[in-house]
Amino acid sequence: MNYLKTLLSIPLGFVLAVNPTQLMAQQTAKPATVQNYLSSAETISIGGINYQLSWSSNPNNSYYKQEYLPKGQKAEKYTEMLLLEVVKGNITVKQAVSSQIELIQQRKGTDPVANYSVIENIEKNEVILDFLMSQDDIVEWNAYRYKLVDGKAIQLFGMSKRSYGNSTEFLTSLKSARTTYINQLATAEVPKIKIP
């Protein structure tokens, strides 16, 4: 697998970071039809679960986001989700990761579970950011796998797990399952995309 635990000293301030507060408050106005901006597979399988493309967004010419959910789940109250994101521009993997870390660090004063770890695959120039955050009765764990695509964009392939109301049970379960989830993400084939 060649992923090594490291602490990265990387510059801050990159666009691909997801504001955790916005992430926790999922959009309620979903488009009537979902556009596959990245020409990726409509179904992605990981860990024995099939995830269907359920939502997409292209808020500007350089940013694309697609969410995938298991059958029967809704974005407003999901327990499992996969994400594909692409940001075009002159950026590095380390800059993308650094920007997300900065947002997590900012949460630490108000979020009792906010924490992260970084796993780097030097051979593939990929990084996995493994992080935890909460808001109100929601606890969310994410693993984001970042890679450079064609030297002109950063692709994020992410896994998200959520709990509503019973954080103790979720955190206990996550403690034993986290390594499995990270390994599933690290060893999965990154979905093929076409950069618009």
Mean pLDDT of 78-103: 96
Confidence of residue 31 (pLDDT cuts 50, 70, 90): low
Task: Please state, in angstroms and as integers, the Cα–Cα distance from residue 69 to each residue in 150, 157, 161, 190, following that order.
Answer: 27, 14, 11, 17
Q: For 98-135, how does the pLDDT look when each residue is reduced to its tens digit (9 = 90+)?
A: 999 999 999 999 999 999 999 999 999 999 999 999 99
Please name each of the domains of the chain with its CATH number.
4-23+36-187 (3.40.1000)
For the residues 156-168, what does the mean pLDDT come to?
Answer: 95
Averaged pLDDT score across all residues of the chain: 87
Cβ atoms < 10 Å from Cβ of 193: 20
pLDDT for 176 beyond 50: yes
Task: Report residue 95: phi and psi, to 5°.
Answer: -65, -40
Q: Are 190 and 147 in contact (CB under 8 A)?
A: yes
The proportion of the chain whose per-residue pLDDT surpasses 90, expressed as a percent, equals 80
Maximum separation of any 2 CA atoms in the chain, in Å: 43
SS3 8: coil
Q: pLDDT at position 32, please?
A: 61
R_g (Cα) of the chain, nearest Å: 16
Q: Rounded distance, CA 78 to CA 94, Å?
A: 29
Q: What is the pLDDT of residues 137-158, one digit of tens each?
A: 999 999 999 999 988 999 999 9
Confidence of residue 13 (pLDDT cuts 50, 70, 90): very low
